[in-house]
């Protein structure tokens, strides 16, 4: 189990402000996260013509949250497709194992995952 002392400090700059982040996720990963947040805030600031930093940060947080929720929905959808395909394959394998089915009479199972 990691203790508080196992974490390192990483300096990041977000919207012109410097922060020290205590993390055990690694410097490069933390810098990448900070850059992503900074880019989102900068975009909200420039595109939305938002002068107040806290408002730009809130809009950026909403954008990032929307991305997260859409990604989760996509993963859930793919997971369901995979579950259904695996279930179909298991059914076919069980039928073959019992000798109850001749796969040559069935159409081949097609697996496509669009990403």
The residues pairing with 8 across neighbouring beta strands, listed in sequence order, are 23
Whole-prediction pTM: 0.69
Instruction: Please report the pLDDT score of residue 3 as a whole number.
Output: 55
Higher pLDDT, 97 or 12: 12
45-92 tens-digit pLDDT: 998 888 899 999 999 999 999 999 999 999 999 999 999 999 999 988
Residue 105 has pLDDT above 70, yes or no: no
Angle among Cα 39, 30, 7 to the nearest 5 degrees reads: 155
For residue 1, name the pLDDT band (cuts at 50, 70, 90).
very low
pLDDT, residue 112, reads: 64
Percent of the chain at pLDDT > 90 equals 69
- DSSP string of the chain, one letter each residue: ---GGG-EEEEEEETTEEEEEEESS-HHHHHHHHHHHHHHHHHHHHHTT--SHHHHHHHHHHHHHHHHHHHHHHHHHHHHHHHHHHHHHHHHHHHHHHT---GGGSPPPP-----
């Amino acid at each position: 189990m990691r203790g508080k002392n196992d974490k390192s400090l990483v300096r990041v700059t977000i919207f012109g402000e410097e922060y020290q982040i205590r993390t055990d996720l690694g410097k490069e990963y933390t810098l990448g996260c900070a850059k992503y947040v900074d880019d989102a805030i900068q975009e909200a600031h420039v595109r939305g013509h938002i002068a107040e930093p806290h408002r730009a940060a809130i809009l950026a947080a909403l954008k990032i949250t929307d991305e997260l929720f859409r990604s989760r929905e996509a993963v859930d959808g793919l997971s369901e497709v995979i579950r259904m395909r695996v279930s179909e394959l298991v059914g076919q394998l069980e039928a073959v194992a019992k000798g109850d089915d001749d796969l040559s009479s069935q159409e081949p199972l097609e697996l496509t995952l669009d990403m």
